[in-house]
Structure 1
Amino acid sequence: MKITVIAVGKVKETYLNDAIREYQKRLGAYCRLEIVEVADEKTLEHASEAQERMILSREAKRILKHIKEDACIITLEIGGKQLSSEELAAKIEGLGVQGTGHLIFIIGGSVGLGKEVLDKSDFALSFSRMTFPHQLMRVILLEQIYRSFRIIQGAPYHK
Structure 2
Amino acid sequence: MLSVRLICVGKLGEKFWAQAAAEYEKRLGGYCKLEILELPEQRLPQTPSQGEIDAALKKESELIAAKIPSGAAVIAMCVEGKPMSSEQLADYVSDLTVRGTSRLCVLIGGSCGMEESIKQRANLRLSMSPMTFPHHLARVMVLEQLYRALNIVGGGKYHK
**If the TM-score is normalised by the length of the shorter chain, which range does it land in?**
over 0.9
Shift of 1:122: 1.0
Q: Which runs of 5+ in 1 are unaligned?
A: none
TM-score by length of 2: 0.97
Task: Confirm whether residue 39 of structure 1 aligns to residue 36 of structure 2.
Answer: no
Q: Distance in 2 between matches of 1:69 and 1:122?
A: 13
Task: Confirm whether residue 81 of structure 1 aligns to residue 82 of structure 2.
Answer: yes
SS of structure 1 residue aligned to 2:78: strand
Q: Which moved more, 1:42-51 or 1:2-11?
A: 42-51
Show the 5 A alignment for 1:115-130.
115-130=116-131
Total equivalences in the alignment: 159
Shift of 1:68: 1.7
Task: Confirm whether residue 90 of structure 1 aligns to residue 88 of structure 2.
Answer: no
> Aligned letter for 1:138?
R
Q: Distance in 1 between matches of 2:114 and 2:44?
A: 14
SS of structure 2 residue aligned to 1:157: coil
SS of structure 1 residue aligned to 2:46: coil
Q: Distance in 1 between matches of 2:46 and 2:127?
A: 25
Q: Which moved more, 1:77-86 or 1:111-120?
A: 111-120
Q: CA RMSD in A?
A: 0.8
TM-score by length of 1: 0.97
Q: Distance in 1 between matches of 2:44 and 2:127?
A: 23
Q: Distance in 2 between matches of 1:136 and 1:43?
A: 21
Shift of 1:12: 0.6
Show the 5 A alignment for 1:1-159.
1-159=2-160
Q: Distance in 2 between matches of 1:68 and 1:3?
A: 10
Q: Distance in 1 between matches of 2:106 and 2:138?
A: 11
Shift of 1:116: 2.4
> Aligned letter for 1:63?
I
Shift of 1:120: 1.0
